[in-house]
Amino acid sequence: MAHGTKAMLVGIRRGEPAPVPGTSWRTRGEWLLAAVVGAFTLAQLVLVRPGLGLGWDETVYVSQVGTQAPAAFFSAPRARGVSLLVAPIASWSTSTELLRVYLALLSGLGLYLALRVWRGLFPTRVLAVGGALFASLWITLFYGPQAMPNYWVAVGALVGVGCFLRARADRTDRAALWGIAAGAALMAWMRPTDAVWVTLPLLVLVVAARRWRLGVALLGGLVAGAAEWVIEAYVGYGGLGRRLSDASDIQGGLGWNFAVDDQLRSLAGRALCRPCAGALPNPAVMAWWFVLPLLAAVGLVVAVRARRTAPTLLPLACATTAAVPYLFMIGYAAPRFLQPAYALLAIPVADALFRLVATPAGRWRPAVASLLAVGLAGHLAVQYAVLDRTVDRTTADRRDWARNAAELHRLGVSPPCLLTGRESIPVGYYTGCSSAATGGPNANSTPADILRTARRQPTATLTRPGAAPPAYARDWETHRSAGLDLHIAPAPDRRDGPG
């Protein structure tokens, strides 16, 4: 009895809510985190709509293991992690609804496990609020149920950094060592270069503090996750250096590129801001982006004064290095690129919020709490508004792809078939066709190869309305469809001889 009372008092001093009689701190904490991720999972299913068709990048990843269309061209920057993640569903079903539900449930489970890693490093209520802050961003809700890698890099970052801190504090915690390896492997499995940027502060700390066991776990995870990507570089891309060079070229050439303003423009719901022009969004849409680093700084000051710097400083450092290439090294933006940084910032920011609304003695500051409540309510309203517009716009785009596929089928272009030109990758997936390009980041063919294929199977080239088709397709029939002109090659059975 005395022991339980002592534990309760310690928990209250640490900022934990009082437990319900008959429940343990561990049980209460589990339910609190479960409630957050449960709401996150439900919100994905309700707000993002399971029927949302596959996006451009999703069709590339899913086609590698799916049955609806031949595998699309897999460019140098991509990694196979997402394809393997969706394989349990995509390998036998073409149902987008089923895939969305599967990914929503999986993303909720991933966030729950990632937050659990941090228990003991921060109070449970801080973890719950941090998880809610990250999960309520329109970016997280939109991409959680999608076959895209960035959310999973964020989950791997939370797991890896949290386990690193646990193993650093307790040399006997073998589970934490395995967690470091698992988090690093998940990141490298999804995006190897992102994994290196996220773990850079951890690698520096390993060398500076000579914590070689942590280094072995970290490097082991990175090697295990990136092994397939590196092997594939030598098998299909001419070597690791060539693949890295090609990946840089596809992304516009890595180097000094100030992309902060591009990221701001993407906050309005632009899935890919390339080229990224136009006015900045409404200040209300951008406000949280400027508040975030300020609250992170407050969290760090609080941690330093409380002499518990590492659990706050390390995720902030990893969030910074994760963001650097996407803020200063590429010439375009996508909001999903910064998901790992947002996930790592969420917990220190939540800690700062609790420190702002209460004194060190635990007394609430009503004025500050009221102001923050109003600010958070406004923030959530803005996130929902951007998410709703983004879902509506992307749903319309993907319905157009489906309409184009139906029109191609009506015109006789059905599997096995080939599409080239504008949006040929996603429209090809919806049609069940292969896709080809003679230039750009997805170049994998030549005009001669395309003409040879057209002699054997239905082939079409897609262009903007009114735009001239490529030279090899100038004598093909043209049909107007949903936002595209469809240039259809003469049917193979109308040709004289095999050619």
Are the C-beta atoms of residues 145 and 106 closer than 8 Å to each other?
no
Does a structural domain hold residue 427?
yes
Half-sphere exposure of 49 (CA within 13 A, CB side): 14
Structural tokens at position 469: 């088709």
Residue span of the structural domain in which 444 resides? 395-494
**Pairwise CA distance, residues 420 & 416, whole Å:** 14
Half-sphere exposure of 408 (CA within 13 A, CB side): 34
Q: What is the pLDDT of residue 358?
A: 84
* Domain tally, the chain: 1
Q: Which amino acid is at 264?
A: L
- Of the pLDDT bands very low, low, confident and very high (cuts 50, 70, 90), residue 101 is very high
Are the C-beta atoms of residues 193 and 246 closer than 8 Å to each other?
no
Does a structural domain hold residue 404?
yes
**Pairwise CA distance, residues 423 & 485, whole Å:** 11
**Pairwise CA distance, residues 337 & 285, whole Å:** 18
- Of the pLDDT bands very low, low, confident and very high (cuts 50, 70, 90), residue 131 is very high
Does a structural domain hold residue 375?
no
Q: Which amino acid is at 211?
A: R
Does a structural domain hold residue 417?
yes
User: If you ran DSSP here, which 8-state letter would residue 423 be given?
Assistant: T
User: Using CA of residue 414, residue 415, residue 420, residue 425, what is the dihedral sign?
Assistant: positive
> What's the chain's average pLDDT?
91
pLDDT, tens digit, 9 for 90 and up, residues 171-226: 899 999 999 999 999 999 999 999 999 999 999 999 999 999 999 999 999 999 99
Does a structural domain hold residue 152?
no
Structural tokens at position 363: 């007394």
Does a structural domain hold residue 460?
yes
Does a structural domain hold residue 381?
no
User: Using CA of residue 142, residue 147, residue 153, residue 155, what is the dihedral sign?
Assistant: positive
Q: Pairing state of beta strands 418-421 and 434-436?
A: parallel
Q: What is the pLDDT of residue 274?
A: 85
Structural tokens at position 38: 């449960």
- Of the pLDDT bands very low, low, confident and very high (cuts 50, 70, 90), residue 493 is low
pLDDT, tens digit, 9 for 90 and up, residues 297-345: 999 998 998 888 999 999 999 999 999 999 999 989 999 999 999 999 9
**Pairwise CA distance, residues 394 & 146, whole Å:** 12
Tell me if residue 300 falls in helix, strand or coil.
Answer: helix
Does a structural domain hold residue 481?
yes
